[in-house]
Structure 1
Amino acid sequence: MTPEHKPKITLLSDVSMQSKLFKDSLERGIELDVDLASIDELARVIDETEAVLGDYVLIDYNYFDDVNFEQYNQLRVPANAGAKEIVINCPKEVSSSELFKWRNLVGVFYVDDEITLLLKGMRKIMQDEMWLSRKVAQDYIEHFRCANTVTTSQAYANLTKREKEIMRLLGHGASNLQIADELFVSENTVKTHLHNIFKKINAKNRLQALLWANNNIGLEERV
């Protein structure tokens, strides 16, 4: 990661002693600057610059009531619609469907997760991985699955044989490493293929790719 391409990270939370301490711990752990902001602060500076939100947005679950969520949704497009969203301080009992309101979700950390686990997950996320529990990943697939009505699209037919294999495995919730093991290739090869696939299907992350797969790959192609 070259200095000029360091990702920007925004922490959306109430500005308190606790959130400032968390910000400091995160900055030390991943060696990147983290901007702490409330929704009101975000709204105030929205007209001053194009990309107010960073490349990654850490969303404090407890901070986002219905009002803040609605305001965030109105601000996210002018602020940075493509920002990857990471939910932190998430209660264990929250249903998966509740998490899917975050459109660019790439990670979920729970309220009892240690800071070391969060730092490990953040590093993975910044390597274009996702940090979701197996249950949340599987629930996501089921949530958007329309297998009974979906027929295989021409866009899927236009993918190469290897890209189709990877998309099928991705649709089953496989990680990069699992895909690599299944296809007897390196993890870097899988990442390269995924990068090319994402460009072809106009997906910004794995969740969008999963959604695309479930809307463009018929049941007969998923086995």
Structure 2
Amino acid sequence: MMVSKTAVILSPHVENGAKLPTQSIEQFYSLLEACSFNVQLRKLDSEDMSYLALKADIVCIDMCNNHSNATVDKILRMETRLPSIVLLNAPGKGICEKKALMQGIKGVFYTDDRRDIILKGIESITNGESWFKRATLNAVLNDLMASSLQTTNVLPEINPSAMVDSVLTKREWMIVSLVAKGAQNQEIANQLHISVNTVKTHIYSIFRKTKCRNRVELITWSQMARMSA
């Protein structure tokens, strides 16, 4: 039996119970439903956080005006466990993706995004991935790597005897290379023609073998492994 997921769309255009206030909201609403979400519409109000009690899997915030920014800031300051926050209808300018990613936002969708791009993004977020431009992901990874290299206690414990190609299989090294380029699980699956679950299994195995705790540590490990080879 499929477990239904819940998504809440917050928009200042929701008035008097209007179900689908704008064409862009209607499109996002229908695509969420296509991904098996139970979708609820709420009026965007930075003073009303009651929708968080719904335990939604995704909260989508319509970024059509400045009130949206205030709501996002307030949500991110809350100490409670947060759902996945997604920004939709973002303008081409005025959104700092790097800042959004570092704050914990799961993805950004723009006003001119095509329907197929939005659907792909929703599916990626549903699979636990983030949805940002590749340049943004690479920039954040580079910043985190630089920070890790300056703070020795966050680096993975490197085993000199593990610095050989035999530690990882050929397929695992291919996945490490793609991770280092900023590829997410779905992108890796597409390139290697395997399922997302298989990618997750490989990454779990890679973390176990290398004693890395996350992708940033894995990238650092792989660079050191290559240099010592």
> What is the TM-score of this pair, normalised by structure 1?
0.66
Whole-Å separation in 2 of the counterparts to 1:222 and 1:53: 44
Native 8 Å contact 1:56 1:86 kept in 2? yes
Whole-Å separation in 2 of the counterparts to 1:124 and 1:217: 26
Structure 1 runs of 4+ aligned residues shifted over 6 Å read 155-158, 196-202
Change (3 A) 1:43 1:126: closer
Partner deviation per Cα, 1:64-117 (whole Å, 9 max, x = no partner): 555323321234x42x42x22322222233343232243152x32211113343
Native 8 Å contact 2:6 2:38 kept in 1? yes
* Aligned amino acid, residue 70 of structure 1: D
* Higher RCO by CA contacts (8 Å cutoff, separation 6 or greater): 1
**Larger of the two Rg values belongs to structure:** 2
Whole-Å separation in 2 of the counterparts to 1:62 and 1:198: 41
Whole-Å separation in 2 of the counterparts to 1:36 and 1:30: 16
Match of 1:70 among 35, 52, 73: 73
Native 8 Å contact 2:92 2:111 kept in 1? yes
- Are 2:103 and 1:102 equivalent residues in the alignment? yes
CA RMSD of the aligned region, Å?
Answer: 4.0
Native 8 Å contact 1:39 1:71 kept in 2? no
Whole-Å separation in 1 of the counterparts to 2:176 and 2:102: 23
Match of 1:220 among 203, 224, 229: 224
Whole-Å separation in 1 of the counterparts to 2:30 and 2:189: 34
Q: What is the correspondence of 1:34-73 to structure 2 with a 5 Å cutoff?
A: 34-37=39-42, 38-40=44-46, 42-44=48-50, 49=53, 52-63=54-65, 65-73=68-76
Q: Measure how far apart 1:134 and its partner are.
A: 1.9
Please, which runs of 5 or more residues in structure 2 have no aligned partner?
A: 15-20
Change (3 A) 1:221 1:131: same
Native 8 Å contact 1:150 1:217 kept in 2? no
Please, which runs of 5 or more residues in structure 1 have no aligned partner?
A: 203-208
Match of 1:205 in 2: none
Whole-Å separation in 2 of the counterparts to 1:61 and 1:45: 17
> What is the TM-score of this pair, normalised by structure 2?
0.64
